[in-house]
Structure 1
């Protein structure tokens, strides 16, 4: 690859392996495909228990588990400037050209993008979630996002609905935002060799059992479906604070033999759970994209989902039944799906997913965003502060103060720890990557 087009990318998020979820899977899969395209990719996240320092994963993916512990919901405690020295060291050591932050809820992401811009790096942000505009948490998060996106070079959203949401929340110019959907590893999610018997219809649910994922909706929905369709059985995978309500519902309606609770399902076992069913049920109340329904469709399951967020953009109408997020409409949607089952060919559906969604395609499209970010003109501090001032009467002044202090701390570090005194890591082509468990000390 032409050296001028070879990017050196630092992926940053609080959410990464060994934690599992949509953001974690996105970062890992995208990084692996970018490595295959010839780019250098390094991931930075916080420490997970004893997992700290530098680790190597499949394909030679290098991961910095910096010595910051999660504070709440896998997020590190906001420090504003506490992470600047270690982020600066990593950026210089790895000769990074693009800083790519993931997830609006990640503290580490926001701080890395802020420090990256202070040091003159090009920065890209990917938003994976939808947020509202009325509750206190969303108002706070939207202001933080406005601060971060005021100075990013490019942004990525996983659906058109997500793009509209991000533009409204942050005020970022729409021309700076690209829509690049998630994808699925179809080699991992394949249908069962033999089609299941249709005598008993099994509906699979794999989700975090929390309010946002519609766990309360399931509590009302499952008894209604079991009463209306005697041949329907549920398999529920996942854990969370709402699991107790589902257990109570099962006891109350004596559905122990028709509702199987699996608890948390390791990602490696998700396929084996999916191929045991006919229909996949997604009851989320908000979703920017929803990788879970892609995985289910790749395994040949017909999907029933709530019509929320970016979900209507994900699958063609003939392999998904959409419903409003209420029990009555969801029961009707399941009835429609049961009638459609005889016409579903799992292997044909798998091939469609293979042609529609590919991480290699996501990587190539992300590569274009990096190219565009690098073509953005360099700006001095005063030019950047002008954009922060436009963020609000009082917020704009506060944002400017934060960035001025960050700039002064960076200047201080440049004087007392000059960049030329930091060893740069040589680029090594890793044919047989080190053991994933191997480690060395972080800087």
Structure 2
């Protein structure tokens, strides 16, 4: 697994990589993670269950993404791959420089490659056009692509000009036991007013708490949240907010709180560790998610598992995540977000929503074990352990515009043909990059042969889980 975004930094991509790696190890596979160094994380670290993490020393330029060098990562990457006897390179996240470079180098070394896209990117602005062109470069020679939602799949297929057959949808999940709601008080115990849990049912004068756990960036809808909070509190005086997260937009929220004198109504907690998220969520009744773009939105699954009624914007893959009885959808507009939050508050105060049932329902819907089994099937498919008809679920023998075997040929001339078709000028530039990458590989093979590289000792493996293990 290769990605710039990994622990100790919290986030959905980071959690996805860790949980998937852990479950694959439980199923008998060997998994290592390559990411960049953090201030207190350098070199090699071991995480729970034997997940081995390489923190490589590369400079960070923007939002935890490393400076793109294209080639300087290759010698170190080759050394790690040979030391650990890796067979498949699985890159995560469009915005991760290490991911894009690892897929290129992996193909040059003759390894199978998989890419998982966790985000949605537009088509109109200059940044999106450049990002999509680079993604087209990376995915021109990848074996398979995974997206976390059907909306994400459509977006990735259009951005990288892929055949839909080579893109699978495998959603995120959660560890449901880590996101349990607090137990409801038993009859005859402390009254609701004295109990430390959110009060259900809510009376007209009971305090209702709205929780927000998010990175405070523009694309997460922080501007929308800043505009909506004063109006929500004005319409519903017996309401308060708890906001957890950090980012450049935090100053805007703090200024809004001071200008509207809402210090007793809005509590900002700053950055929180992922293991503390549940403790924050169980303090609330409603989870507010005003994101402007989202491929999946794991945090809303976590909120529902904690027994919160979810108010979220109907953007990207969010409408696919939870059933309608757990959510109130809003347009990504201030007025509609305020109205949707008001509807959620009214429904809870009228006791029309049975949030105590959400946890078991979410637990039945999402499982990391299931995600690992589906990812394992992708690995088997690109390795040839499954027939192409079974793997792709379609008769591909007559597909003249694309053959499923196109990503399986490592011959340099065939790789160059695929890159050459990426554009009049871009195609030639991509071919030049691949040729230079291949020359670096040949030089490394001569300068530092494989038999001169020590093989790392493996972490003791668990017996593989049975195929019917859920």
Q: Flag whether TM exceeds 0.5 (same fold).
A: yes
Give me the whole-angstrom Cα distance separating, in 2, the residues matched to 1:213 and 1:161.
17
Q: State yes or no: 1:19 paired with 2:50.
A: no
Q: Is the 8 Å Cα contact of residues 191 and 346 (structure 1) preserved in structure 2? A: no
Q: State yes or no: 1:411 paired with 2:401.
A: no
- Residue range with higher mean Cα deviation, 253-262 or 218-227: 253-262
Q: 2:55 aligns with which of 58, 65, 68?
A: 65
Q: 1:114 aligns with which of 91, 94, 104?
A: 104
Q: Could you say what secondary structure the match of 2:422 adopts? A: coil
**1:236-255 equivalence runs, <5 A:** 236-255=243-262
Q: 1:285 aligns with which of 264, 285, 292?
A: 292
Q: Is the 8 Å Cα contact of residues 28 and 461 (structure 2) preserved in structure 1? A: no
Partner of 1:272: 279
Q: Is the 8 Å Cα contact of residues 36 and 55 (structure 2) preserved in structure 1? A: yes
Q: State yes or no: 1:56 paired with 2:46.
A: yes
1:317 offset after TM fit, Å? Answer: 0.3
Q: Deviations over 1:358-393 (max 9, x none)?
A: 111100000011111112533301011111111000
1:81 offset after TM fit, Å? Answer: 0.9
Give me the whole-angstrom Cα distance separating, in 1, the residues matched to 2:461 and 2:169.
32
- Residue range with higher mean Cα deviation, 344-353 or 393-402: 344-353
Partner of 1:123: 113
Give me the whole-angstrom Cα distance separating, in 1, the residues matched to 2:245 and 2:317.
22
Q: Is the 8 Å Cα contact of residues 59 and 430 (structure 1) preserved in structure 2? A: no
Aligned-residue Cα RMSD (Å) equals 1.3
- Residue range with higher mean Cα deviation, 176-185 or 258-267: 258-267
1:39 offset after TM fit, Å? Answer: 0.5
Partner of 1:349: 358
Q: Could you say what secondary structure the match of 2:70 adopts? A: coil
Partner of 1:435: none
1:430 offset after TM fit, Å? Answer: 5.4
Give me the whole-angstrom Cα distance separating, in 1, the residues matched to 2:253 and 2:45.
39
**1:378-393 equivalence runs, <5 A:** 378-393=409-424
Partner of 1:307: 314
Q: Could you say what secondary structure the match of 1:12 adopts? A: coil
Q: Is the 8 Å Cα contact of residues 304 and 333 (structure 1) preserved in structure 2? A: yes
**1:356-395 equivalence runs, <5 A:** 356-375=365-384, 377-395=408-426
Partner of 1:5: none
Q: Could you say what secondary structure the match of 2:89 adopts? A: strand
Structure 2 unmatched runs, 5+: 185-196, 385-404, 463-470
Give me the whole-angstrom Cα distance separating, in 2, the residues matched to 1:243 and 1:52.
29
Give the TM-score, by structure 2 length: 0.88
Q: Is the 8 Å Cα contact of residues 159 and 179 (structure 1) preserved in structure 2? A: yes
Q: State yes or no: 1:169 paired with 2:200.
A: no
1:327 offset after TM fit, Å? Answer: 1.3
Partner of 1:398: 429
Partner of 2:232: 225
Partner of 2:131: 141
Q: Is the 8 Å Cα contact of residues 212 and 285 (structure 1) preserved in structure 2? A: yes
Give me the whole-angstrom Cα distance separating, in 2, the residues matched to 1:71 and 1:230.
43
Q: Deviations over 1:228-251 (max 9, x none)?
A: 111111111112211121122112
Q: Is the 8 Å Cα contact of residues 48 and 69 (structure 1) preserved in structure 2? A: no
Aligned residues: 421
Q: State yes or no: 1:95 paired with 2:126.
A: no
Give me the whole-angstrom Cα distance separating, in 2, the residues matched to 1:265 and 1:231.
26
Q: Is the 8 Å Cα contact of residues 107 and 410 (structure 2) preserved in structure 1? A: no
Q: 1:196 aligns with which of 173, 187, 198?
A: 198
Give me the whole-angstrom Cα distance separating, in 2, the residues matched to 1:320 and 1:193.
22
Give me the whole-angstrom Cα distance separating, in 2, the residues matched to 1:428 and 1:165.
38
Give the TM-score, by structure 1 length: 0.93
- Residue range with higher mean Cα deviation, 128-137 or 48-57: 48-57
Q: Is the 8 Å Cα contact of residues 210 and 242 (structure 2) preserved in structure 1? A: yes
Q: Is the 8 Å Cα contact of residues 241 and 267 (structure 2) preserved in structure 1? A: yes
Partner of 1:336: 343
Give me the whole-angstrom Cα distance separating, in 2, the residues matched to 1:240 and 1:66.
25
Structure 1 unmatched runs, 5+: 1-10, 432-443
1:284 offset after TM fit, Å? Answer: 0.4
Give me the whole-angstrom Cα distance separating, in 2, the residues matched to 1:188 and 1:228.
34
Cα separation, partners in 2 of 1:427 and 1:250, compared to 1, 3 Å: closer
1:50 offset after TM fit, Å? Answer: 4.0
Give me the whole-angstrom Cα distance separating, in 2, the residues matched to 1:398 and 1:78.
16
Q: Is the 8 Å Cα contact of residues 108 and 410 (structure 2) preserved in structure 1? A: no
Give me the whole-angstrom Cα distance separating, in 1, the residues matched to 2:289 and 2:75.
43
